Amino acid sequence: MKNVFVPVAVMLAASLSVYGQTDQNRKPGDPFAPAKTTTMEDDRPKTYYSIVNAEPYYKHTSLILDPFVIGVGAKTGLASALRLESVVAENVMVWGKVTKTWIGEAGIGIGYEDAPVAVGGMKNHMFTEAGGAFFVINDAFDAKVKVVTKSGRSGSAHIDYYINVPSKVRRMLGVRAGHLTQRRLILVNDDSRDDYYYTSADGAYKVPVLKEHPANIYIRKPAGDYFTALGVSNTNSAFAGVHFRKVKNTTIILNDNTTRTTDKLIDVYADVLIPYYNNIRNLVDIKGVEWGLVARDGVIRKMGWRAGCAIRLPVRGYWQANVELGKWPGPKLQTEIGNTGFFTLIGIGRSIGLGRHGLPPKAPKADDKK
């Protein structure tokens, strides 16, 4: 029986010897050469490329349009946003932004037609913002930037082949500050009646927002569905925080004359929001009598915060996406998550570079070369 296992042992040893061999045809650094376990010849050539640009250039003035901003929490609903920003000096950036809700709180008036409503009627959320940043750190450092040269599939998996290209990457870190205004809607009903009360126009008479008012106690009360109120609040805040920006812009030409680019602009920021003005508009009942809507102690938040991240492709198509979360200052809203003021905003849109600021110089014409 021992002689029977000798050929089997020889074949197993030969197989292990082949499995353990190093593939001599694999070229170091070749992204197209997968790890091989056999001595099969790899006839795919090594990837050669020419660097077209390795400097982190980008247009310093941008118009950013988010046609779709989805709000979660604080009942922002579906909104749109427009932002204009510009790096006006080497270390200074300024911006302005407007965000307006199109589908959301304005619809809460449906079914409450006889309730007291804010003077001027119900209006959707709208935020305006103006700010600036001063970058204490603003430099470009040497780094390896991954540039995808080829994409493919292996079964259900998607594979990107890339090479590391010696490049420059810009990083910017600084402080920021500005001003934020917010117009938000207030729905006072079963979940928030204890947070607000009515007052007469002169402030001398107070009426709780109760579901039923005993006639012998509250002779005066808003006409109509007094147990529900539709208000509008205005909050102005100052904000201050930190801002970080990172820029990559590397373009190469492969040996098959195709161009590949890795471009990315990332902004990360965090702010503290400090309100200095809060106002809740007066209401008008169905008889045209004006009433005040007053928040009880503890209902107006004295501070908020936010943090966000935005990613742009400044060269390829100008697509951008951003997400922001935090806690709004100002009056509590019944429609918030747990009445906490917590919110999340997700925006998707386009970033359009304006002017030629921050771009590499034009290549000289052939006639100009010496």
Confidence of residue 228 (pLDDT cuts 50, 70, 90): confident
Q: What is the average pLDDT score of the chain? A: 79
Higher pLDDT, 322 or 337: 322
Report the candidate in 229, 239, 127 with the shortest Cα–Cα distance to residue 183. Answer: 127
Residue 95 confidence class, pLDDT cut points 50, 70, 90: very high
pLDDT in tens, 115-142: 899 998 888 889 999 999 999 999 999 9
Please state, for a pLDDT cut of 70, what percent of the chain lies above it.
74
pLDDT at 336 over 60: no
pTM of the model: 0.78
Q: Tell me which of 12-21, 46-55, 242-251 is least confident.
A: 12-21
- Percent of the chain surpassing pLDDT 90: 37
Task: Write down the domain spans for the chain.
Answer: 52-359
**Bridge partners, 176 (sequence order):** 133, 241
Average pLDDT over residues 51-57: 87
HEC readout, the chain: CHHHHHHHHHHHHHHHHHHCCCCCCCCCCCCCCCCCCCCCCCCCCCCCEEEEECCCCCCCEEEEEEEEEEEECCCCCEEEEEEEEEEEECCEEEEEEEEEEEECHHHHHCCCCCCCEECCCCCCCEEEEEEEEEEEEEEEEEEEEEEEEEEEEECCEEEEEEEEEEEEEEEEEEEEEEEEEEEEEEEECCCCHHHEEEEECCCCCEEECCCCCCCCCCCCCCCCCCCCEEEEEEEEEEEEEEEEEEEEEEEEEECCCCEEEEEEEEEEEEEEEEEEEEEECCEECCCCCEEEEEECCCCEECCEEEEEEEEECCCCCCEEEEEEEEECCEECCCCCHHHCCEEEEEEEEEEEEECCCCCCCCCCCHHHCC
Band (pLDDT 50/70/90 cuts) for residue 40 is very low
CATH code of the region 52-359: 2.40.160.20
Pairing assessment for the beta strands 229-254 and 206-208 based on DSSP bridges: unpaired
